[in-house]
Structure 1
Amino acid sequence: MSSITDDIASMSAWVAKALESSGYRADFSIESLNDIDRFIDDNSVNGVANPGGILAEGLGKKLFALGAYVGETLRHRHGGTWQADDSDPAGEINATLVLPDGGHIWPIQRVINRFKRGDEESIAVYGLMVGN
């Protein structure tokens, strides 16, 4: 059985390939976070997946993967280590990226909030704010 932190690494790579194959930029650059916002906007409205769309099935897994991608993008840029409690039923949602300066961020929670609340939870803006 893999750990949550192992799942973060594998799922971020998986979703990057899936996004690229669908025409989204997913090269783990800060600029690619704009395409995470665009992907969510293209595939949902007001916190509801488009019927028959990419997010219509396996929503939780896909939001986790998108959050893992966001976190890995930020980790590549700023450094840091993932912390997650494999015994916590909500461990995947609560996975924390601890930055070198001691700051803690929750990219998976941010992606879930972006899906639910829309533009006010912009992933691109989040990416620019982390580490500054």
Structure 2
Amino acid sequence: MATLKEDIIQQSDWVIKAFESDGYKLDYSIYSFIEIDRFFQKNLIDGKPKRGGRLSKNFGAIVFSISSYVAQTLIKNVPNSSIVTDDSDVNGEINFSVELSNGTVCFPAQRVMKRIKNGLEDAIYPYGYELAKEFINESFDQSFWDIGKGEELEEESKPWWKLW
């Protein structure tokens, strides 16, 4: 049986391949968090999985995989950082944390769940950028603000005469 740390590494690699099959590019850069926010915009409606969307099945496992990717991306971009897990915690997949080298502690799974619930207000890219900005040589990508516009926010529309 694998440890939670091993599962985080494995699921992080899995989500890269899964996102790639849908045209999203995850490459462990902080910028790639924009792709996660785009994915959520496309697959959620009011904090709930869109019917027939990628989150409509295996929701918990996908949330854990995305959280694992967020954790691994922070580790790879902030030197001397580490993942902290507790294999005896029954909620370990939600409660694992990342300790950054500057002393900041963050909880990727809890942030991903806030993103799902609250939408772009709790987006992953600005959060990750703020955590890592002193360690990376990237400017904040202003194109992030375009995520909430256009087709990614479109919902499936029903004819006005269908009430259910």
What TM-score does the superposition give when structure 1 sets the normalisation length?
Answer: 0.96
The structure with higher relative contact order (CA 8 Å, sep 6+) is: 1
Work out the CA distance in 2 between the residues paired with 1:101 and 1:77: 13
Work out the CA distance in 1 between the residues paired with 2:52 and 2:95: 29
Corresponding residue number in structure 2 for 1:130? 131
Corresponding residue number in structure 2 for 1:106? 107
List structure 1 segments (4+ residues) > 3 angstroms apart after TM superposition: none
Q: Deviations over 1:59-113 (max 9, x none)?
A: 0110010011111111100031111111111111000111112221111111111
Letter of the aligned partner of 1:99 in structure 2? L
Query: For the pair shown, which has the larger CA radius of gyration, 1 or 2?
Result: 2
Work out the CA distance in 1 between the residues paired with 2:86 and 2:73: 21
Deviation at 1:30, TM superposition (A): 1.0
Work out the CA distance in 2 between the residues paired with 1:92 and 1:8: 9
Alignment of 1:1-132 (within 5 A): 1-79=1-79, 80-131=81-132, 132=134
Q: Deviations over 1:30-61 (max 9, x none)?
A: 11100100001101111110112110011011
Work out the CA distance in 2 between the residues paired with 1:60 and 1:103: 26
Higher helix fraction: Structure 1 or Structure 2? 1
Gaps of 5+ in 1: none
Letter of the aligned partner of 1:21 in structure 2? S
What TM-score does the superposition give when structure 2 sets the normalisation length?
Answer: 0.78
Gaps of 5+ in 2: 135-164
Q: How many residues align?
A: 132
Give the alignment's Cα RMSD to 1 decimal.
1.0
Q: Which secondary structure state, in structure 2, belongs to the residue aligned with residue 25 of structure 1?
A: coil
Work out the CA distance in 1 between the residues paired with 2:118 and 2:34: 16
